[in-house]
Structure 1
Amino acid sequence: MASLRTFDAFPKVDSHHLVRSQRGSYSTLMTFLLLLFLTWVEIGSFFGGEVDHQFHVDNTVSRNMTINLDILVAMPCNFIQTNVRDLTYDRFLAAEKLQYEGMSFFLPHGYQVNSERHIVTPELDEIMAEGIRAEFLRRESTGHNLGSPACHIFGSIPVNRVAGDFHITAKGFGYRDRTQVQVESLNFTHVISEFSFGDFYPYIDNPLDATAKTTEENLKSYTYFLTVVPTVYKKLGVAVNTNQYSVSVQEKTYTVENRGPPGIFFKYDFEPLLLVVEDQRMSFTTFLVRLATIYGGIIVCAQWMNKFVEKMLLVLFGKRYASRGLEKSASLLDDDL
């Protein structure tokens, strides 16, 4: 036990063999300030956490998906038909689920008109604050004002979770219909206030939200190509399941000789990936280990840096310059000399 008490794995130099200097005090002070700063950063990381983005294979078995939309088209509702068609050759009459409301056409203030909209990916805290589920207002269609100059189409429609196409066309174009809208009456100028997939979150911004397209041509076609990525936001045990999507648009103008189906087409497809954005926090044990590692590394680096500086001063300027600021000896032997 006596030998164990005197055992020292890290032998130290006795204090009377050490020489203090002014440069050493500056080095100690800077090292202390650096340790204090890094400690503050680690404490912030421990309490604040970090946002982690992970892609996983989407192995959830889901057959259905909801499309939420709010679109204003510059044509009477009596002229418009809406349909959904997907890869399974399933055709769905979207008008059975959507609401039609006749009104006057207008361009809302602040909407992006005939140009691409720059979308910034929202932060985790923003999504968690604005991820409030809602539903479109449901009411019985009265059939009033359907002959107004514009048609407000809104609501949620269930679709199969496969690649598909939701389109807004005129009667007699693309599908056989009893009525045929005159070419001179066609106008697919439109305003998109909402277009999203999955649960409806009215406060989350989507790439097509607050956009508009205007045209003076009758046989105009707008095709939006959408790629949907399921996304889950997690923080403190709360999860928000959303769907992000990227979009590109193609515009085409037909002629009387080359008459294609004019209208507004949304061609969508789903990626087989799941993006998980999660707020992760380290454990208290990991926090202590990180602090110990940082302290040890900084102290060792500071010692080596101090020795390097002293060596360089000695080589470049000589012993007399290098010894400036060193503590003077106060022993009896030095006094006798």
Structure 2
Amino acid sequence: MENFAKKVKTFDAFPKVDPQHQVRSERGGFTTLVTYLFGLLIIWIEVGGYIGGYVDRQFIVDDKIHSDLTINVDMIVGMPCQFLHTNVEDITQDRYLAGETLNFEGIHFFVPPTFRINNPNDFHETTDLDEVMQESLRAEYRAEGARVNEAAPACHIFGSIPVTQVRGDFRITGKGFGYRDRSHVPFEALNFSHVIQEFSFGEFYPFLNNPLDATGKITEEKLQSYMYYAKVVPTLYEQLGLEVDTNQYSLTESQYVIQIDEATQKPVGVPGIYFRYDFEPIKLVIREKRIPFFQFVAKLGTIGGGILIAAGYLFKLYEKLLVILFGKKYVEKGTEKKQGGLLDNEVDQKRDE
């Protein structure tokens, strides 16, 4: 058995130091204590990271065309509802009268105090996963196609418009401008000042932020035209098995005043508010992940071993610097050789005699 133990010992990748070659010191004890505390801190951080997981972002090809997609709108336009015409037209020339599903409520025009007015809406960042999960309360508009007090000075337009997931645009114009209509809005009644509370694509999550939310434009021009261009990216959020399938979009915009032809005294163009959108052929997937448990254990073992090895080398370097700066006697002061060697046993026997 002893021979077997000796043979195994020769293959030990980390041979142990014999007790007679070990030395105790205050500096060594302090270094050991600091190393253990630092190791516990690292383990605590790694365990917290494992429990909290990490956020993984990936782009995949979106090979699905959703025919039941909706545009969610909640805005106020500074002219009476009875003068407004709304419709949607996509790239296939398919038109949909948005007024059949949208609700029109006559009110007085006002600007909420927190809204951004006449500012360029060219900045948008992807919402954090935790924020989406906290604010992902799905809702629906209670009414559809309602018309109330249409002669009021301003019009509150809200509701959801069913569209196909292809390029298109949603238009808000005056009656008689751009489309044949029984009535024609006089120039002096046109006013396309507007504030937008909600403009989003897909399922209606009223508490998720979008680039056009809480924005607006105010103008005194009668023939004003506003153009909003949205690049829509389908986005899937996933956390602990819960999924929020929504859409986010980037935005650019332009605006101009339409001129009047001097010969015909008619505007060269159609004033109004235009929302042009296009869907990207990719999908952003944002999900929370955790590394496998055995991989986590192996990672902890690797980190622990690395800390011990690094601490050993740093302590040796520190001891050598002390020898160079203060001499060997200073370094050996306060040290205590550990008992257990053969010579120590002989010395103890002589003292006992």
* Aligned twin of 1:198: 202
Inter-partner Cα distance in structure 1 for 2:120 and 2:26: 63
Inter-partner Cα distance in structure 2 for 1:218 and 1:130: 39
Confirm whether residue 318 of structure 1 aligns to residue 327 of structure 2: yes
Match of 2:128 among 123, 130, 133: 123
Confirm whether residue 295 of structure 1 aligns to residue 304 of structure 2: yes
TM-score (norm 2): 0.88
* Aligned twin of 1:52: 56
* Aligned twin of 2:141: 136
SS in 1 for 2:336: coil
The residue identity in structure 1 corresponding to 2:291 is M
Match of 2:220 among 216, 223, 229: 216
SS in 2 for 1:239: strand
Inter-partner Cα distance in structure 2 for 1:56 and 1:5: 58
Question: Deviation string for 1:60-81 (max 9, x for gaps)?
Answer: 3433421010111011111110
**Shift of the alpha carbon at 1:242?**
0.8
* Aligned twin of 1:253: 257
TM-score (norm 1): 0.92
**Shift of the alpha carbon at 1:239?**
0.7
Greater mean deviation of Cα atoms: 223-232 or 99-108: 99-108
Aligned residue runs from structure 1 range 1-337, under 5 A: 2-6=2-6, 7-8=8-9, 9=12, 10-116=14-120, 121-139=126-144, 141=146, 143-257=147-261, 259-327=268-336
Inter-partner Cα distance in structure 2 for 1:20 and 1:182: 98
Question: Deviation string for 1:30-56 (max 9, x for gaps)?
Answer: 111110101101111122111211111
Inter-partner Cα distance in structure 2 for 1:213 and 1:298: 60
The residue identity in structure 2 corresponding to 1:5 is A
Inter-partner Cα distance in structure 2 for 1:3 and 1:123: 64
Inter-partner Cα distance in structure 2 for 1:194 and 1:329: 76
Inter-partner Cα distance in structure 2 for 1:285 and 1:27: 30
Aligned residues: 335
Please say if residues 23 and 325 of structure 1, whose CA atoms lie closer than 8 Å, have aligned partners that are also in contact. no
**Shift of the alpha carbon at 1:288?**
1.2
Inter-partner Cα distance in structure 1 for 2:250 and 2:3: 72
The residue identity in structure 1 corresponding to 2:101 is K
Greater mean deviation of Cα atoms: 161-170 or 319-328: 319-328
Alpha carbons of 1:324 and 1:223: their partners in 2 closer, same or farther (altered >3 Å)? farther
Inter-partner Cα distance in structure 2 for 1:149 and 1:166: 23
Inter-partner Cα distance in structure 2 for 1:198 and 1:172: 31
SS in 1 for 2:57: strand
Inter-partner Cα distance in structure 1 for 2:126 and 2:298: 34
Alpha carbons of 1:25 and 1:147: their partners in 2 closer, same or farther (altered >3 Å)? same
Q: Give unmatched runs, 5+ long, in structure 1.
A: none
**Shift of the alpha carbon at 1:109?**
2.7
**Shift of the alpha carbon at 1:22?**
2.3
Identity over aligned pairs, percent: 50
Inter-partner Cα distance in structure 2 for 1:214 and 1:237: 44
Inter-partner Cα distance in structure 2 for 1:96 and 1:158: 11
Alpha carbons of 1:144 and 1:292: their partners in 2 closer, same or farther (altered >3 Å)? closer
Q: Which has the greater radius of gyration?
A: 2
Question: Deviation string for 1:202-239 (max 9, x for gaps)?
Answer: 12121111111111111111111111111111111111
SS in 2 for 1:161: coil
SS in 2 for 1:29: helix
Inter-partner Cα distance in structure 1 for 2:256 and 2:68: 31
**Shift of the alpha carbon at 1:11?**
1.2
